[in-house]
A and B are shown apart, each in its own frame.
Chain A
């Protein structure tokens, strides 16, 4: 893509970003601030511990596990084992929408369940209270599954949530109970929580439901959490194409679906960071390949649909997909034609989680906007540089205690969906099978890549680049807007959305147009502040009779 944007000298920018830090901090941050070159893709320092006191955007392992991965499953009772805060803050604050099929179907998303640990539970242990809580949840709601999420003090005082869960599961017989050791201090970010959640769901849920669902082309949608209805839009498109979502990890999902994940023929991965473990494990144990897809952006959506059709290799499906794209594109084009002249040539910065900082660059590019800097909070090197660097990633001391499950092919259920030769053929056609190329190959030369950006660094970047829009989360939103730069929340979508698929692209174009062209930004200076003091004039009009 050609850019009209003039980039400031990036090495000088990097110097400016780190000059204020104490020497040790500067040395460390230097390795996480990278001048991009899509041809050679430099190495990024990522997934390392946060610098204390630097003002990070990051959250914790509990948030990654409970808040992100299993939180969206509507019919599981998620009990937070800990003091009240963790459960409270993850109560309805992520917008993973869910739609039960009937009014009688279980939906616990609106509830917050906690053991609300008190001082005596810290001193004498909280396992007893936890078991009482599990029993009460069972008696009140009779859910299909109860999941327990450990918070910081749980690991320290030695509560065994797994033993307590096993005991209760055996006692009930008709309710799956399992625990997660996702204490907030594990790993260095939300990322550890994703891994812990993947392991737990794979161990305790996947494979328990052998129902064969209807549908010719069945795929699992992995790493799509239905924020603002994103998964609903993907489902709408899939339905039109004749594709069946077998299970969703985990937007708008149910316990039964997750347990049935091994019955699909393809795993389509949206968010690589949070769910690639599941993709790999499903491949190894059951022989289901995974494919990276991206439904952010109209072009990307079309491309992903074509890739999926190519994977299934069915001529009718391919034709149907082309028809759907042909049907959907005109209304997208109509809007972009209207909006493009107002957004073209503008610049964006994206600092979001572990996935969207990459995906949304497609939408900005459709709007004719250039991404001048981007980064993740907690992604790993493979999300930046591509999965080919995986063999070179060393797990450091802070993450080495996150369990790696040893998975083997299931003696009965392993069934390769494609032969080696078929997979090679698909790869030759340009399909990324079990692979992801990362964010940096897509970004312009000399653009900046910053991992785990600090408040200070983002403020400096805004000062230097004066971007037309900054994308991040709620903690940054009002800070950046106070600087006179609109901030698009790419976690919550500022309570709008969906942004996936064709309808989502239209929503996004309109939102960005509104934000970068909003008249309100021109009103910030009061009229009496617009002229310098020396030029201030006294009232000059006079009453004139005619």
Chain B
């Protein structure tokens, strides 16, 4: 057994986290910053963080993930990292020539109290930022929240530090992407186009973290939201935040600063959440829903009805990030399944409340988030009440193997398969992909384990 020390008996832990269902803020900020065109993310801390964050994202995407670091030494850790950041800005603009440097902090620079706003202002005053170039920042202390918080903070940084108001409204809707895959962002843009809605999607990592092999390394790939687009977000009709944890804070920031009204919807995973997203976008953009989208919805629904016997009443354990777990849980319930064990390492009352509402449809479900909500606990719950399916990131494979449970990789990080960056999970087509994946793992298991006389050709 790979997790042979995991006990069935659940004891409350106050100090020890085991096999976390989250990681730390900066990796989220790094990911978000890659969703700006011409941007080099920068980690203001000791270089180990940056190496780890780049490596994790690289393993997840099998793509280049560029970022620089202030490379703190012990001296800087005691006396402050201002000199390191100023030197970094100088070297980065000389050598790598980005349009924007997006700086995030780590637990090191946050503990010593480096003020990114002050340092970036000094860089500007000292003439270290070339004409037409930008440095933005987000404070991302690793001891608060999770990687999702870091993502949200960097997206707020984009909104606050780029958006402008010309006083003239633009016929466009801001779509603020929660932490989703480049494939999902591509799908969101496709849906918006089909609807005929004019949007600005930010951040946008499509064509950045799913770049083609051309024999040439584009240090700044063609994707990413552009600076003019970001600037224009202050003039948009309204914003739709896709995810209350990772996207809403930026929508709030735009509302506060420029009076851009917003609506928050769940990330459009599954049928109900996608329905709400389509409704919200068609309303905000003043467009009607074309038949093609209705047909696409119908095809997803068709698959759900055709195969309902494989879904109904099946128990599911899942772990991951709040903005995905909310609609995913709802989708499982729409499929007639029973999500019974759910953990998310990311803390937050908002998430708890939403999950409590959704889980009213799954009486007796175990749910926990924040400190102590780790996959060790999830595994213990599963030992007490077994499930038919596990959904989570790659770390779930250890549990799945020990317990011999069908497993679907979903969320971040997925480091042992591809697909997440190429095929969407959002929208009706994403729903169809999820349905197919669930069916495949169930049916593969049935094919593998059925006695010979019960082995079926048609399923």
CB distance from A183 to the nearest CB of B (A): 8
Interface residues of B (CB under 8 A from A): 1-5, 7, 11, 13-20, 22-27, 42, 45-49, 51-56, 58-59, 61-77, 84-85, 87-92, 94-96, 106-108, 111-112, 141-144, 146, 211, 213-218, 345, 371, 376, 395, 398
Give every chain B residue within 8 A of A155 (Cβ-Cβ): 77
- From B141, which residue of chain A is reached at the shortest CB distance? A119
Q: Are B58 and A477 in contact (CB under 8 A)?
A: yes
Question: Contact partner of B47 among A58, A118, A479, CB < 8 A?
Answer: A58
Q: Contacts A111-B18, A111-B19, A398-B73 given: A524-B215 contact, CB under 8 Å?
A: yes
Q: Are B16 and A478 in contact (CB under 8 A)?
A: no
Contact of A518 with B by CB under 8 A:
no
A-B contact pairs, 6 of them (CB 8 A): A59-B48, A84-B24, A89-B52, A93-B55, A184-B49, A184-B108
Question: Contact partner of B75 among A55, A86, A398, CB < 8 A?
Answer: A398
Q: Contacts A60-B51, A82-B107, A184-B46 given: A21-B23 contact, CB under 8 Å?
A: no
Give every chain B residue within 8 A of A115 (Cβ-Cβ): 15-17
How many residues from A make CB contacts under 8 Å with B?
A: 93
Q: Are A478 and B64 in contact (CB under 8 A)?
A: yes
CB distance from A476 to the nearest CB of B (A): 9
How far is it, in angstroms, between the C-alpha of A63 and the C-alpha of B51 when the chains are bound? 10
- From B211, which residue of chain A is reached at the shortest CB distance? A482
Give every chain A residue within 8 A of B42 (Cβ-Cβ): 53
Q: Are B108 and A152 in contact (CB under 8 A)?
A: yes
- From B150, which residue of chain A is reached at the shortest CB distance? A85
Q: Are B19 and A112 in contact (CB under 8 A)?
A: yes
CB distance from B347 to the nearest CB of A (A): 9
Q: Are B74 and A398 in contact (CB under 8 A)?
A: yes
Interface residues of A (CB under 8 A from B): 20-22, 25, 49-63, 79, 82-93, 103, 106-108, 110-119, 121-122, 129-137, 139-141, 151-153, 155-157, 183-189, 397-398, 401, 454-456, 459, 473-475, 477-484, 524-525
CB distance from B6 to the nearest CB of A (A): 9
Q: Are A84 and B87 in contact (CB under 8 A)?
A: no
Q: Are B108 and A156 in contact (CB under 8 A)?
A: yes
CB distance from A230 to the nearest CB of B (A): 21
Q: Are B91 and A21 in contact (CB under 8 A)?
A: yes
CB distance from B413 to the nearest CB of A (A): 9
Q: Contacts A83-B143, A89-B56 given: A135-B71 contact, CB under 8 Å?
A: no
Q: Are B74 and A185 in contact (CB under 8 A)?
A: yes
Q: Are A55 and B68 in contact (CB under 8 A)?
A: yes
Q: Contacts A84-B23, A108-B5, A113-B18 given: A118-B48 contact, CB under 8 Å?
A: no
Q: Are B89 and A53 in contact (CB under 8 A)?
A: yes
9 tightest A-B CB contacts, nearest first: A60-B48, A53-B88, A85-B24, A132-B15, A133-B15, A89-B52, A53-B91, A83-B142, A152-B108
Q: Are B111 and A157 in contact (CB under 8 A)?
A: yes
CB distance from B446 to the nearest CB of A (A): 28
Q: Are B14 and A114 in contact (CB under 8 A)?
A: no
How far is it, in angstroms, between the C-alpha of A117 and the C-alpha of B63 when the chains are bound? 31
How far is it, in angstroms, between the C-alpha of A76 and the C-alpha of B14 when the chains are bound? 21
Q: Contacts A52-B87, A524-B215 given: A103-B1 contact, CB under 8 Å?
A: yes
Q: Are A153 and B107 in contact (CB under 8 A)?
A: yes
Q: Contacts A151-B107, A152-B45 given: A479-B87 contact, CB under 8 Å?
A: no
Residue among B95, B96, B112 with most chain A CB within 10 A: B95
Q: Contacts A53-B70, A156-B108 given: A111-B3 contact, CB under 8 Å?
A: yes
Q: Are A111 and B5 in contact (CB under 8 A)?
A: yes
How far is it, in angstroms, between the C-alpha of A52 and the C-alpha of B128 when the chains are bound? 14
Q: Are B18 and A482 in contact (CB under 8 A)?
A: no
Give every chain B residue within 8 A of A92 (Cβ-Cβ): 395
Q: Are A185 and B5 in contact (CB under 8 A)?
A: no
Q: Are B345 and A84 in contact (CB under 8 A)?
A: yes
How far is it, in angstroms, between the C-alpha of A108 and the C-alpha of B112 when the chains are bound? 34
- From A397, which residue of chain B is reached at the shortest CB distance? B75
CB distance from A451 to the nearest CB of B (A): 15
Q: Contacts A56-B69, A60-B46, A482-B211 given: A136-B88 contact, CB under 8 Å?
A: no
